[in-house]
Structure 1
Amino acid sequence: MIVRPRPHWLHLLFVRRGSLVRRIFGQQLFVFLLSCTVLLAHGELFDWKVTLTAAPFSLMGVALAIFLGFRINASYDRYWEARKLWGGVLITARNLARQALTLTAHGDDVRPFVLGLIGFATAMRNQLRGQPCDKGLSGLLPDTLAARLAGTRSAPTLILVWLAQWLRERRDNGTLQPILAQHMEAGLDELSATLGGCERIANTPLPFTYTVILHRSAYFYCMLLPFGLVDSIGLMMPLVVAFVSYTFFALEALSDEIEEPFGTMPNDLALDTIVAGIDASLRELLGETPPPAPMPDENFLLR
């Protein structure tokens, strides 16, 4: 996801990065060239005049816009639910770290447990993105646990098991009261539920037919639109068609992009920034100096 300050309204008109222009440039160019061809041919196709007016496109455009709106809403619901789940990871990790610091016996070393919470968030990000499970985990987990994670399908689950074993050891040796250990176990249950919620989003895409119908309808509409506008608009027709097609193609591309919110595309969730925020927050609880926070992208005007 792009992390940067909001640009001036004038600059916003010309920003390319994150605007999906590059992604839909081929479709836009095809529709524009088709519109120019239709304009030069005066709406004729193989010596046959295509008798279309703007009237049917008004009805088709309204129906397509409503359908596209449903698609955007469905994709954004997935995006926003994923964001709320990651917000829950931050809250639960902070609570568990605070409880480990205040509820265990004085002098007990809770740093491995807190770093394990950071490791859980890092491993969860790696799993959702399909990245190597050990990416960013250096120095966060014990060597024996880090060795066990190699080649596993669910590294975050193994980390939760290790965290639960850490609580059991403190409960057994008397440095953590059983009732308090049970309360902290509930926090681990919340992390497990959050992981399952994110896996549900990642492993259950929107029905493919839904995407196909919208894709075909948008292309069919934009390819026929030049024939309906050539007689009424004239020379301005290619520009009008290009603008209309940009709206439809960009919204379709955006809905497809945020449907999978855990990826690395410009409009996906900023998981690296979220994990960095969890890391910084928990290290501050330990009294350590957190690493520098990710800075907004100040070069957006050049991209």
Structure 2
Amino acid sequence: MIQYNPKDWIIFIFRFHESDTFRKLTPMMLLIGLYAGGVAYLELEYWKLADSSHVKNLSLIHTTVGFVLSLLLAYRTNTAYDRWWEGRKFWGSLVNNSRNLAIKLSAYLSDENDLDFFRKIIPTYASVLSKHLMNEEVSKMLFEGLDLEIDHHEHHPNQIAQKIFQKANELYRAGTISGDQFFIINEELKSFTDICGACERIKNTPIPYSYSAFIKKFIFFYVMTLPFGFVFNLGYYVVPVVVFIFYVLASLELIAEEIEDPFGSDMNDLPTPKIAANIKKHVEELL
């Protein structure tokens, strides 16, 4: 995730980072510019259409359709950001629940072996969940110091959550913690799987294909028809105008595509490995 100062306007304007939409759209912008220039040449130099030509009235259609397109893009961007922010809230809940569980266990347990087990396995769940959402392989180094055997063909976070609950249940059966204490920590134990399921829902349920495809087609045909009507008023200046309009509209769609799946490795995705590292630091301090 990109770290930045939201008050530094100069850097925003002149900095082109790796995920900047200008870089991604540059080839297409060049093609759109050549296309707009070709249309302008044909209408002004080759066909020599008069200002009274009905083609000039196409700009009226763009005014009406542009309003509809702006509503669609606004809805698309808001929906994508909602998914990003929802994912961040779930990982915030994971941080808080990990801390709460560690705080309660630090008060309930006195045996160093039990404390050491939870000191290692609680951060392990966050690390495994992060890699699970990013479709990365879970390294065996994550389990160093723990008696864990992970089946890489099965759901990784569920296996860690199962180990945590089994250990808590063993402590209850052995009388190390009371039934009331077990009930109190059960909410945190349960929340781990709830958070995992919610994150998987975001990751595995993208925006419907037909909706996303329609917006892309809408932007393409809208931009491709712009030069025909605008060339009468702008002349060859239609080239930078059309390129700029394409850049604005396509950038909004690209941004929405990037943030609608917040658990990847893109520059604007959630820093889940960093959050997992913070959980490890906090749990070790508490236990």
The answer for the alignment partner of 2:10 in structure 1 is: 10
Aligned partner letter, 2:55 = T
Distance 2:177 2:73 in 1: 54
Aligned partner letter, 2:272 = L
How many percent identity over aligned positions?
29
Distance 2:64 2:95 in 1: 47
Distance 2:163 2:88 in 1: 26
Provide Cα deviations, 1:76-122, integer angstroms capped at 9, x if missing partner. 11111111111110010000011110122465641221321110011
**Root-mean-square deviation over aligned CA pairs:** 2.2
The alignment status of 1:251 with 2:256, answered yes or no, reads no
TM-score between the two structures when normalised by the length of structure 1: 0.86
Which deviates further from its counterpart, 46-55 or 109-118?
46-55
Which deviates further from its counterpart, 61-70 or 3-12?
3-12
Aligned partner letter, 1:132 = E
The answer for the alignment partner of 1:276 in structure 2 is: 277
Contact 2:123-2:277 within 8 A present in 1 as well? no
Distance 1:240 1:207 in 2: 32
Q: How does 1:1-303 map to 2 (within 5 A)?
A: 1-6=1-6, 8-17=8-17, 18-42=19-43, 51-53=55-57, 54-105=59-110, 109-134=114-139, 137-139=142-144, 142=146, 144-145=147-148, 148-286=149-287
Secondary structure, counterpart of 1:13 in structure 2: helix
Contact 2:56-2:232 within 8 A present in 1 as well? no
Provide Cα deviations, 1:36-90, integer angstroms capped at 9, x if missing partner. 2222323689898881442211111111010111111111111111111111100
Distance 1:135 1:61 in 2: 54
Secondary structure, counterpart of 2:246 in structure 1: helix
Aligned partner letter, 2:43 = H
Runs (4+) of structure 1 exceeding 4 A deviation are 43-50
Aligned partner letter, 1:8 = D
Distance 1:250 1:262 in 2: 20
Secondary structure, counterpart of 2:168 in structure 1: helix
CA shift in 2, pair 1:159/1:228, >3 Å: same
Aligned partner letter, 1:240 = V
Aligned partner letter, 2:194 = A
TM-score between the two structures when normalised by the length of structure 2: 0.90
| 1:28 Cα offset (Å) | 1.6
Aligned partner letter, 1:16 = F
Distance 2:46 2:126 in 1: 59
Aligned partner letter, 1:258 = I
Secondary structure, counterpart of 1:110 in structure 2: helix
Aligned partner letter, 2:11 = H
Which deviates further from its counterpart, 81-90 or 36-45?
36-45
Paired residues in the alignment total 282
CA shift in 2, pair 1:167/1:45, >3 Å: farther
Provide Cα deviations, 1:163-214, integer angstroms capped at 9, x if missing partner. 1111122222222112101221221111111111111111111110000100
